[in-house]
Amino acid sequence: MSEGRMLLIVNPVARHGETQALLPVIEKLLASVGHDTVLTEHPGHAAELAAGAQGYDVIVAVGGDGTVHEVLNGLMAHPVESRPTLGLLPTGSGNDTRRTLGVSTDLAQAALELSTGRRRAFDVGVCNGVYFNNSFAAGLDAKVTAKAVEYKVTKKRDGLWLYLTALLHVLFNELDAFDISLAFDGEEPAHVRTLILAATNGPTYGGGFQICPHAIADDGLFEVCMIDPLKLHEALWRLPFVIAGKHTEMKVVHMSRHSSLVLESEGPMPAQIDGEVLLERRYEISMLPGAITCIVPKEST
């Protein structure tokens, strides 16, 4: 990897404030690497910092998937010919982007990979003008994401356990299907009644749920998973299979691959991109092939 100055954009409140405590360790690990460090102060600040950063070869998101989401949106404001590379030090709760990039869970190793890794182009999704690197989902999943945001604060949970407990709450209390008009790849729309629709660039979301286990982050396509309406007992016995990515051949599950999709509903429909909750009547989602370059471990394929 060619050398260049790095900017670390640190979310100090990531993982219930643990990232703030790790900052001296991070600075020590990167002492030999030319870099500057700036801490975010409010939601949206990481995007502002990344968009305004000049003269940096690499901008590193230090935090979880929410931090990466913001930094990505800031980087996409740069012209493609001068867009900095995205690096990652995963210190957050879910870290699904870490899985997609193959970055180590060990902080010291992840810091080493920033210096020794290679650069690889990845696709970027865009939903209603907002960029995302990992996932879009509508319906039940968005309700789960909203509950997970609550549980992260009130119950101090994180990772797969956070998403799993939020999911169980929704399954027992809000297991409702939804009706949408759905069009793939510019085709004519069709009426669909479904429990969940997920279009992902990476194989996991929610801290490790393998909802689209065969998604490839640089093939120019989303992997789409749709699940038919289910009763509670039907959903519960299938849940372990979804966690492990073993649900794709079930009759109630419909997997496909597309470069774009448009969803529309009569009223506001909950959705999420990279864990950020949305509420709109219409979602236009498309893929930008190879739009962001990221640092990955040398052995990553």
Tens of pLDDT along 10-20?
999 887 788 89
User: Residue 1 and residue 12: Cα distance in Å, rounded?
Assistant: 28
Say yes or no: 179 and 249 in one domain.
Answer: yes
Q: Which of 102, 196, 216 lies closest to 145 in space, CA to CA?
A: 196
**Which pLDDT score is estimated for 300?**
52
Domain of residue 173, CATH code: 2.60.200.40
Radius of gyration of the chain (CA): 19
Does 245 reside within a domain? Answer: yes
Say yes or no: 136 and 285 in one domain.
Answer: yes
**Would you tell me how many other CB atoms lie within 10 Å of the CB of residue 94?**
29
Say yes or no: 136 and 232 in one domain.
Answer: yes
* The domain boundary residue, chosen from 116, 141, 161: 116
User: Residue 68 and residue 191: Cα distance in Å, rounded?
Assistant: 34
Q: What angle do CA 228, 233, 235 make, to 5 degrees?
A: 35
Query: What would the mean pLDDT of 93-115 be, rounded to a whole number?
Result: 91
DSSP 3-state assignment of 205? strand
Residues 57/7, Cβ–Cβ less than 8 Å? no
Whether pLDDT at 2 is above 60: no
Q: If you ran DSSP here, which 8-state letter would residue 82 be given? A: G
For residue 224, give its domain range. 132-289
- Banded pLDDT at 252 (limits 50, 70, 90): very high
Counting residues of the chain whose pLDDT is more than 70, the rounded percentage is: 98
Task: Name the token pair of 224.
Answer: 């789409």
**Which pLDDT score is estimated for 54?**
94
Say yes or no: 112 and 172 in one domain.
Answer: no
Contacts of residue 81, Cβ cutoff 8 Å, sequence gap at least 6? none
Say yes or no: 109 and 144 in one domain.
Answer: no
Residues 228/252, Cβ–Cβ less than 8 Å? yes
Q: State how many domains the chain has.
A: 2
Say yes or no: 139 and 276 in one domain.
Answer: yes
Position 98: which residue type?
R
Say yes or no: 61 and 11 in one domain.
Answer: yes
**Which pLDDT score is estimated for 301?**
52
Whether pLDDT at 1 is above 80: no
Say yes or no: 162 and 210 in one domain.
Answer: yes
**Which pLDDT score is estimated for 25?**
95
Say yes or no: 186 and 140 in one domain.
Answer: yes
Say yes or no: 53 and 162 in one domain.
Answer: no
Say yes or no: 269 and 136 in one domain.
Answer: yes
Could you tell me which residues are beta bridge partners of residue 127? 130, 285
Say yes or no: 78 and 154 in one domain.
Answer: no
Position 225: which residue type?
C
Query: What would the mean pLDDT of 247-254 be, rounded to a whole number?
Result: 96
Whether pLDDT at 152 is above 80: no
pLDDT higher at 207 or 29: 29
Does 296 reside within a domain? Answer: no
Does 299 reside within a domain? Answer: no
